[in-house]
Structure 1
Amino acid sequence: MSKGIEGKVVVITGASSGLGESTARHLARLGAAVVLGARREERLNAIVEEIKAEGGKATAHAVDVTRREDLAALVQHAVNTFGRVDVMINNAGLMAISPIAELRVDEWDRMIDINIKGVMYGIAAALPLFEQQGAGHFINISSVAGIKVFSPGGSVYSGTKYAVRAISDGLRHEVGSSIRTTTIEPGAVDSELKHGSGHQASAQAVAEFYKQAIPAESVARAIAFAIEQPADVDINEIVLRPTSQDF
């Protein structure tokens, strides 16, 4: 258990695998009540049952982060189940790497919808509640690719992750007197994110790059660190990557 985490209600998108799943399990072990959102309802329910079997508190609600009403329903489900929301983790993401000249416009649209709009819809769902409570914490998952353009082929993906950093920093300026905002920027982490590229040559390059990936649990620990700080301490940004990663 962690005194700074125990009893807090944490909503997590993209929670059916990877960073979201690891974060849900880790925070539940530290005493948080976790609310899992993702499209794969059967997988979510299995994770919830495993968390409960370990003595944790968890619930799930199917959500597509490209639908604003789904995010609103997820937050409302958290309130209906646990009475409040303390932390909103906007984690769902897509990494479809390909050269711009390939003109994979459908993939660009999908990344913008998930990586940018999905974060904005999560903010829109939780912010009124946080303002009503007079407290809350947004944790938005960007990427090392939001600091430096992932090349070759990562221009659009990096653009979406730069956007997450900009939105997060602006949000902190606007609501930071009572609401905390943290941006997490991981490097290569073992998750399903690496499988998002439909362009064959890019997919092969990503697979090679991700051979150095660190476990998703590493990011979960960074998220827990940000949450467990006293209310007057706002961890604004955490960058973490494999020791061997030079990008």
Structure 2
Amino acid sequence: MSGTDNVRGKVVAVTGASSGIGEATALLLAERGARLVLGARRTERLRGLAARIAERGGEAVWTATDVTRRADLAALVELARQRFGRLDVLVANAGIGPVSPLDDLRVEDWEAMVDVNFKGVLYGIAAALPVFRAQGGGQFVHVVSTAGLKVVPDQAVYAATKNAVRTLSEGLRQEAGDTVRVTVVSPGLVRTDFIDAVPDDRVRAELASARQRFAIPPEAVGEAIAFAVAQPAAVDVNDIVVRPTAQR
């Protein structure tokens, strides 16, 4: 059986699906026969993405999803069960990165990163794990960052939230048993609008310059996620790093 055959028919929920890595992943998996459940805050973009998937012969449903709200993650998982009868994969992709020097004391930004990047993943686990247990299988895919592999100035809190998810994922993997798979994907610099929300002018300019010079397309990360999803049920790809060859 080919990797594409292993994707075909799977029900995959994606958070942060309205743009960037989430959008690219949804489109790629839909092309390979997965049925998509799309979640994000920007509902107009979700509606448009679902329409694009349908126009190409795929299946997709969507619901407004703010990952800082536990009820929204529960609703996303429930939508998968209502429309498709099950959930096979939850891709926790939603994330924010308003990075800045610690001396700026942007405490509200720190709290927001903890709420979205870490607690949002916890809420996804709380929603999907009982479903995976009941149906005898499932897969978590957690999108983290190479910022946690190489910690640099100005990104301490962001890196900390991503490494918290990395640690959480390893604990989940060890508790998951032989029917629930856990994959962590660490993208490097990706060509998205992610850094446009960086509040510090200097940091934003530096990241924008690097993005222009060597960032990879979001489809490259989508391919990595699809690779993990496409493995046979007994194969758990736990850790994938995808970054530009020019990134140090």
SS in structure 2 at match of 1:98: coil
Task: State the partner residue of 1:174.
Answer: 175
Task: State the partner residue of 2:155.
Answer: 154
- 2:192 paired with 1:191: yes
Task: State the partner residue of 2:22.
Answer: 20
Distance 1:113 1:58 in 2: 27
Task: State the partner residue of 1:240.
Answer: 242
Following superposition, the deviation at residue 72 of structure 1 comes to 0.2
Distance 1:220 1:240 in 2: 10
Following superposition, the deviation at residue 36 of structure 1 comes to 0.4
- Whether the 8 Å contact between 1:93 and 1:111 is mirrored in structure 2 is yes
TM-score, with normalisation over the residues of structure 2?
0.97
Distance 2:71 2:217 in 1: 32
Distance 1:76 1:9 in 2: 12
- Whether the 8 Å contact between 2:132 and 2:180 is mirrored in structure 1 is yes
Q: Output the amino acid matched with 2:130.
A: P
Aligned-residue RMSD, C-alpha = 0.9
Task: State the partner residue of 2:51.
Answer: 49
Task: State the partner residue of 2:133.
Answer: 131
- Whether the 8 Å contact between 1:194 and 1:210 is mirrored in structure 2 is no
Pick from 6, 15, 24: which aligns with 1:4? 6
Following superposition, the deviation at residue 152 of structure 1 comes to 2.1
- Whether the 8 Å contact between 1:78 and 1:85 is mirrored in structure 2 is yes
Distance 1:28 1:6 in 2: 8
Distance 2:23 2:177 in 1: 28
- Whether the 8 Å contact between 2:113 and 2:161 is mirrored in structure 1 is yes
Question: Deviations 1:161-194 (Å, cap 9, x if unpaired)?
Answer: 1111001111000113210000000100111222
**Alignment map for 1:221-232 (pairs within 5 Å):** 221-232=223-234
- Whether the 8 Å contact between 1:86 and 1:137 is mirrored in structure 2 is yes
Following superposition, the deviation at residue 209 of structure 1 comes to 2.1
Following superposition, the deviation at residue 196 of structure 1 comes to 2.5
Gaps of 5+ in 2: none
Task: State the partner residue of 1:209.
Answer: 210
- 2:117 paired with 1:115: yes
SS in structure 2 at match of 1:3: helix
Following superposition, the deviation at residue 208 of structure 1 comes to 1.5
SS in structure 1 at match of 2:198: coil
Gaps of 5+ in 1: none
TM-score, with normalisation over the residues of structure 1?
0.97
Following superposition, the deviation at residue 137 of structure 1 comes to 0.2
